[in-house]
Chains A and B, each alone.
Chain A
Amino acid sequence: MPIIVYRFLVLGITALAVLAPIALVVYQSFLTAPFFDRAARLSLSAYSFVFAEEDFWQALWTTAAIAGGMAAIAVPLGALLAFLMVRTDVPGRQYLEPLILIPIFVSAVVIAFGYVVAVGPVGIFSTLAKDVLGFVPWNLYSLFSLIAIAGLTHVPHVYLYSAAALRGLGTDLEEAARVSGANPLQVALNVSLPMIGPAILFAGVLVFFLGFELFGLPLVLGDPQDVLVLSTYLFKLTNKLGVPSYQLMAVAVVVIIAITAPLVFMQRLLLRQAQRYVSVRGKGLKTQALRLGPWRWVAFGTIVFWLFITVVVPLTGITLRSFVVSWGQGVNLLDVLTFDHYRELLDYPNVVRGIVNTLGIGVIGGAVSVACYTAIALAVHRWNSGWTRLVDYLVMVPRAMPGLVAGLALLWVFLFVAFLSPLRSTMVSIWLAYSIVWLAYGMRLVSGTLLQVGPELEEAARVSGAGDLRVKRDVTVPLIKYGMLASWLLVFLIFVREYSTGIYLLGPGTEVIGSLLVSLWGTGAIDLVSALSVVNVMMIGVGLAVAVRLGVRLHG
């Protein structure tokens, strides 16, 4: 096969997989009934219905407030954290690094369940506080708490980009500032952080964007107070007319995409700019840790406190709940200890299947996805053509679609594309949905590895008479083997954590822990939810431990 055929073949398949679901959603939004209903007609009525809804505007406003609030919290904290971790002598940095990234890899629904049990109105920590103070000083279900939790759990995203940018810069300017008498905080605010401004801005846009995708936290924490965001509004629409109203849901999705798509492309621009900015780096970076003196313990304490709030509190809550029959005001936890919930997991065949499927999608599905991402990356690798830019954009498109929606769109595709329909109630449908939703992420991992391969070896092979495809197979792929392995591990973590994409695809045979958690939470089977959450966290813990042990960098 000539390489050009391979390239266009891959391009075609990617385009189809990415664009078909979106096209279906957009088409559905202009109909009066589900697209498979014979009574469906073209109309704008769904738009006028949604735009006339008070709830919609409320949800839109709340979403914007949450996204903005999140960015306002996560950006300064994440940037400061990066400064402390990369530039100063905060104690125990090598141990803190993997811990800091935990919030990225733990499912948001698990974190949210944990908060309800730990610091809800009668949570474990709340009752403690009430005993000591006489009142509970926080209200978990307020919009403010939701923003604070969302912000704190997204600090690592900002940290990752800021730390990477800082590592790319020498410390000479900072040392100069220090010598001239600036204190560490002044160095951070006036020298280091401004230098990585573009990276911080990029991370800010990313967090703002993630705010529009937020689903697990508002689903659980917004429920009692009826705090609606766009993604939970979508859920509410299901029932508004009594019968499922796909056209209304499609409109909500189109609105979400209309907001997120520009953000995604803005990120792209910023990323390019950030890289250009960092390119002033010199060779032979000399880095000198900034001495904080006694303040290093204050910094250490602050980081530990943040970890306590965002990781320890929710995970303790959910773990504790999984071992007790009931909890709350007036309950002595020692009286209600039990292992039953874990035993009960085995009574539910769908839960057992869910656990097996989750491992399967992580290990096997992850490997196949990495193979596909590599195939796409190889197709555009060393291709001097305008088409590569198209692929770049194509890969970003699914990013604009929240997982929940991508899952729904794929359900439709699987239902009505004849040759796909036998695969609908198999894990193939889940795998395809996951692979598409995480396309941009996976591509970044794989292309990052490919960038490290110099052209010399490939050229040598070509000179010795190997064809283009043979070069890729026998030279390029073996060279990026370890990078692919690392990508596999990271994709495993993401797939095991994923919860929203599988919700609409959930059925017998396609259970995964994430979507089961949401579904079981809906039915109120909290015993199972807590035990299953702990199982999920343990899987991720093992994956993380392996990654740290193998020295995999936990980011692309």
Chain B
Amino acid sequence: MNWKREVQLLETRRQFFGRGAKGLSAAALAGLLNGDAAAVPTGGLPGVPHYAAKAKRVIWLHQSGGPSQLDLFDYKPQLKKFHGSELPGSIRMGQRITGMTSGQASFPCASSIFKFEQAGKAGIWMSELIPHHKKIADEICVIKSVHTDAINHDPAITFIQSGSQQPGRPSIGSWVSYGLGSETQELPAFVVLLSQQNSVNADQPLFSRLWGAGFLPSRYQGVRLRSGKDPVLYLADPAGIEREGRREMLDALQALNKMREEAYHDPEIDTRIQQYEMAYKMQASVPELTDLSKEPASTFALYGEDARKPGTYAANCLLARRLVERGVRFVQLYHKGWDQHNNLPRDLALQCKASDQGAAALVLDLKQRGMLDDTLVVWGGEFGRTVYCQGRLTETDYGRDHHPRNFCMWMAGGGVKRGFQLGETDDYSYNIVSDPVHIHDIQATLLHCLGVDHTKLTYKFQGRWFRLTDVHGNVVRPLLA
């Protein structure tokens, strides 16, 4: 931890505490947002982290829909010669495919029409669609051999976010906040940001289960931070109630609750009194958090002008940085619109235009603030896309179906190697030829970076000790710094 960052953090925290904190010490606020007065100050489990953590917090940039690895990171120059020819049976090997293309008479290969270049010391291949990513090539670690079990959106997103294809399990963010608690008493430990669609193809729904707490107590569920007047639901006072008037009401309420507490001695009443104070403070601190107007011009030069528009991916990337600065443990960002079944060249370009700069800026920004060392950034979708074309194939146009057998993700920051790539796929980007990394391995590795042994972060439900990685998952050692 460097001193410069310490000072910055203190500064931001002071802004949070600034107004209206009278009478409540930081310690008294402990665990308030977890809704648990009895919790230890950070609200995590005793004994967790299990070992020294490299990362203290996570920003997960989920690219919902399934970005095409073939058009972004998994460069296949040999495919040019196979463009339009049938995917060999020896490659496909009868693997299951979705109901959308299983009826197709043929499976012609579609080579990417985009130009690729190598970037950074490790020579990571990147396509022309993501020019800003080239600037972070020396910071990120690209995994080209991620694979998943699911073949459609709902089970695949549910799988990557909760370790199970079927609903009912806690999300990864809620596992982390359950295990590690919060670094801050002023904001929820687990915050969710949804990016509005910028492109033409944003028809993938999301589900609140993706940030739900499953069978964990509901206090661990992600809190959605929305763009607009009420970033947190019902945050703003109703029209016609000013701050001083609200304070008067609260003072009366707290006095009445205190009297009840004296008669009943129920500790829940005391907790409630503190929660109301916390809510009052959040009404000041959350708008301060989401107000980007005081960010210097250099911020917008870095993230792009889009970042001034609330709800865009760039604005949310910036917000993610502000959240982790204030001690939020897990920021889960969703960016819809990566499901290019057809018109891929046009739509993928739009999608990248809307997201390339924000993601790269976030990494650079964390780095310049000295926070990349202990913040883990994860980028990726729920699966990849097929080498064979879905629908019409021309020299300039094609579409791709869902492909679970290999796709690309990247990680950057706390605990993982920088300027590194792992895994190889065959010439068709259809099968993994080296270093397969399963979704459960990604999850295990993420927890490992946080100092958590994924086999030991468990919760007993219906008599069974559940964990994020079910009974699977291995830490991907070659990724670790």
Binding partners A and B: no
